[in-house]
């Protein structure tokens, strides 16, 4: 807890002074009391709770003054509140394996539908951007809160060759750096004493990365994730697809990024689409990306599961620290203590 007006704490110095005056008055009054020959008789004549009834009202009043002095200093609690304008980057895998029909009508179309449903649930202040990656990453739509523009960008996604997860992360980070203050681009150096401090608050932006395979092009995904760690950007990863290893990859259409030869050469581990292409999800790497950046890993093997994952994405974790003035709580407590002290004093020591 902090104090917005710490100078007000000076008033606490009056509390010991008031307590001292009270003790002095009690001792002074004793000098004029009648002295009895036997103090034991006096103690027996007095009620057992006479001391409590005599001093409790003043103690409560003293507590009320202390609480009021604290209220005057305007205590404030540090609270985490949703960022006024959060940024979410959807980094979507559009590699050739997204044409598989194990999730009807195919993985890519089901992912598009889930992404659009996710967009419709976002508040107007949330800016969403779209990054697509296959052999390299590309910013399809810079972060905006225009629903129509985002749906058009997602609907126009087509497939390409290879899977460059690291490139997708880097492209998403650069998109965030363009619009979020204090987030440097990936080609800018981040000092170790500022960028990798785990006590620093997260930036008001997250990356949601969806892939159905293993990175086989571009920078290593964990190296790209380290750039996100240094910039305090969370990455939520989604492993997408089924374990159907025997299904051939159908034709998603004739349009490919890069004119049909994007990425060049053969695939990692084999050549043609129906041959040695590795379709397994690299869950180990996806989990590590999420863990090191402060995000979470999700798995989806159907359209319904993917929709559920998008619904569970904790975009409300994009928060910032604010000071909440709680002096009204202290003022109310002081008033309650003072009223209680007055009530007890009138009950136990009524005026003549």
For range 127-142, the mean pLDDT: 95
Tell me how far apart the alpha carbons of residues 235 and 210 are, in angstroms, rounded to a whole number: 10
The reported pLDDT for the residue numbered 243 is: 76
The reported pLDDT for the residue numbered 292 is: 95
Report DSSP state, residue 292.
H
DSSP 3-state helix, strand, coil percentages of the chain (rounded to 5)?
45, 15, 40
Q: What is the chain's length? A: 352
Q: How does residue 275 score in pLDDT terms, banded at 50, 70 and 90? A: very low
Verify that 125 and 216 share a domain, yes or no: yes
Verify that 143 and 257 share a domain, yes or no: yes
Q: Give per-residue pLDDT as tens, 161-170.
A: 999 999 999 9
Gyration radius (Cα) of the chain, Å = 33
Verify that 22 and 113 share a domain, yes or no: no
65 belongs to a structural domain? yes
Residue 322 has pLDDT above 50, yes or no: yes
Q: Which residues pair with 138 in a beta bridge?
A: 132
Domain count, the chain: 2
Q: Quick check: 289 and 222 in contact, CB under 8 A?
A: yes
Lookup: tokens for 232: 């305090």
Verify that 192 and 249 share a domain, yes or no: yes
Least confident of 38-52, 105-119, 248-262, 294-308: 248-262
The reported pLDDT for the residue numbered 276 is: 34
Verify that 37 and 181 share a domain, yes or no: no
Verify that 56 and 163 share a domain, yes or no: no
26 belongs to a structural domain? yes
Lookup: tokens for 103: 């999730």
The reported pLDDT for the residue numbered 235 is: 96
> Locate tokens 């790497």: which residue?
285
Verify that 135 and 189 share a domain, yes or no: yes
**Nearest Cα residue to 68 out of 136, 134, 18:** 18
Least confident of 60-64, 132-136, 321-325: 321-325
**Three-class SS string for 3-71?**
ECCHHHHHHHHHHHHHHHHHHHHHHHHHCCCCCCCCHHHHHHHCCCCHHHHHHHHHHHHHHHHHHHHHH
Verify that 128 and 37 share a domain, yes or no: no
Percent of residues, the chain, with pLDDT higher than 90: 42
322 belongs to a structural domain? no
Of the CA atoms within 13 Å of residue 179, those in its CB half-sphere come to 19
29 belongs to a structural domain? yes
Residue 84 has pLDDT above 70, yes or no: no
279 belongs to a structural domain? yes
Verify that 224 and 335 share a domain, yes or no: no
294 belongs to a structural domain? yes
CATH code: domain of residue 164: 3.40.50.410
Q: Give per-residue pLDDT as tens, 211-269.
A: 998 999 999 999 999 999 999 999 999 999 887 655 666 666 544 444 333 333 333 33
For range 186-198, the mean pLDDT: 63
The reported pLDDT for the residue numbered 113 is: 95
Verify that 295 and 332 share a domain, yes or no: no
For range 292-300, the mean pLDDT: 94
Tell me how far apart the alpha carbons of residues 41 and 36 are, in angstroms, rounded to a whole number: 8
Q: b/e map of 157-194 (b: 16 or more CB within 10 Å)?
A: bebbbbbbbbbbbbbbbbbbbeebeebbebeeebeeee
Tell me how far apart the alpha carbons of residues 39 and 332 are, in angstroms, rounded to a whole number: 43
Q: Considering only residues 104 and 320, tell me which one the structure prediction assigns the higher pLDDT.
A: 104
> Locate tokens 């910013």: which residue?
139
Verify that 205 and 298 share a domain, yes or no: yes
Tell me how far apart the alpha carbons of residues 125 and 123 are, in angstroms, rounded to a whole number: 5
Complete edge-to-edge strand list for the sheet that includes strand 87-93: 137-144, 127-133, 87-93, 205-211, 234-240, 297-300
**What value does the mean pLDDT of the chain take?**
80
53 belongs to a structural domain? yes
Q: What is the largest CA-CA distance in the chain?
A: 114
208 belongs to a structural domain? yes
C-alpha separations of 243 from 122, 237, 301 in Å: 32, 18, 8
Which residues constitute the domain of residue 161? 84-317
Tell me how far apart the alpha carbons of residues 211 and 154 are, in angstroms, rounded to a whole number: 15
**Nearest Cα residue to 61 out of 338, 309, 269:** 338
Kind and range of the H or E run holding 206: strand 205-211
The reported pLDDT for the residue numbered 246 is: 55
Q: Give per-residue pLDDT as tens, 104-116.
A: 999 999 999 999 9
Verify that 44 and 185 share a domain, yes or no: no
């Amino acid at each position: 807890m902090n104090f917005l007006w710490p100078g007000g704490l000076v008033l606490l110095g009056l509390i010991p002074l008031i307590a001292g005056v009270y003790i002095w008055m009690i001792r002074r009054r004793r000098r004029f009391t009648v002295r009895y020959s036997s103090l034991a008789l006096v103690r027996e004549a007095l009620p057992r709770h006479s001391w409590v009834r005599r001093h409790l009202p003043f103690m409560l009043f003293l507590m009320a003054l202390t609480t009021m002095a604290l209220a005057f200093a305007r205590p404030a609690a540090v609270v985490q509140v949703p960022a006024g304008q959060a940024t979410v980057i959807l980094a979507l895998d559009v590699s050739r394996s997204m044409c598989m029909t194990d999730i009807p009508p195919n993985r890519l179309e089901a992912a598009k539908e889930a992404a659009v449903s996710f967009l419709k649930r976002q508040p107007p202040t949330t800016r969403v951007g779209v990054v697509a990656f296959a052999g390299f990453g590309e910013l399809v739509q810079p972060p905006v809160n225009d629903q129509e523009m985002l749906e058009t960008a997602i609907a126009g996604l087509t497939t390409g060759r290879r899977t460059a997860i690291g490139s997708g992360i880097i492209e998403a980070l650069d998109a965030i750096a363009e619009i979020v203050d204090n987030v440097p681009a990936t080609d800018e150096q981040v000092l170790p004493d500022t960028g990798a401090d785990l006590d620093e608050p997260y930036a008001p932006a997250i990356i949601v990365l969806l892939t159905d395979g293993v990175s086989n092009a571009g920078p290593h995904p964990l190296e790209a994730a380290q750039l996100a760690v240094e910039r305090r950007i969370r990455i939520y990863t989604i492993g997408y697809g089924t374990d159907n290893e025997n299904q051939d990859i159908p034709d998603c259409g004739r349009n490919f990024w890069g004119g049909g030869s994007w990425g060049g050469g053969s695939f990692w581990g084999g050549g043609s689409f129906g041959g040695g292409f590795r379709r397994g999800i690299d869950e180990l790497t996806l989990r590590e990306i999420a863990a090191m950046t402060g995000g979470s890993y999700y798995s989806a093997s159907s359209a319904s599961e993917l929709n559920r994952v998008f619904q569970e994405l904790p975009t409300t974790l994009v928060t910032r620290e604010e000071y909440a003035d709680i002096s009204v709580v202290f003022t109310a407590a002081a008033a309650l203590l003072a009223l209680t002290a007055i009530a007890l004093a009138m009950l136990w020591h009524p005026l003549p």
